[in-house]
Amino acid sequence: MSLFKRLLNPNYKSEEKAKKSDHGKYYPEDKLPTDEKFTYNFNKNGGKFLYCENLEEVLEAFDNILLENDWYERDVFCINEQLTERFAGYNLNFIENPNATFFLSACESLVANNGSILLCSNQIKEKKLNELPANFVIFATTSQLVDSISEGLRNIKNQSKRHIPSNITTIQDFETEKEKDFMSYGSSTKNLYLLLLEDL
């Protein structure tokens, strides 16, 4: 049962307790499904996760993000024409200039083992993460979930047989208030919302 079905199943916790009582102390732990691992790591990194079952819910969640942050009638950095058309009804000014209120984009993959978002020149052209707005709204689908970065890179290679995109990067630091540790030194922190559409 996927994480999203579990969230919607009120009897899930009691079912899990019954299963755990059957397992002995030395029974090996079950491997977490990819969707559950991603959700856990993404939330741990400080990302804001909005699961949507259909496009109507995506539009409603997007409207709520705009309302929460007072982003109506603002400049939005977006180079994806499909997203510009999909989110056209919100009185936003879509520009190809990173000096905007927020960045609206798709992504290549959602990486479960570290809760990161994999991007490349298809989404950010040749911009570095620190040149992009501090606020991100990423639109993705559940079919883009992968276990590892190497699996995400393999997908990019398979989809781009003639021309492999450049500027491949991940973003996984979403808590702007958090003090950086040694491992995240040099990475760019973003306030990130993920609109995740169920497509499986």
The string of pLDDT tens digits covering residues 5-21 is 555 555 555 555 545 54
- Reported confidence tier of residue 160, pLDDT bands at 50, 70, 90: confident
Domains and CATH numbers, the chain: 35-176+188-197 (3.40.50.10420)
Q: State the Cα–Cα distance between residues 124 and 80, nearest whole angstrom.
A: 10
| Global pTM exceeds 0.85 | no
pLDDT for the residue numbered 7: 54
CB-based contacts of 149: which residues, under 8 Å, 6+ apart? 111, 113, 114, 116, 118, 170
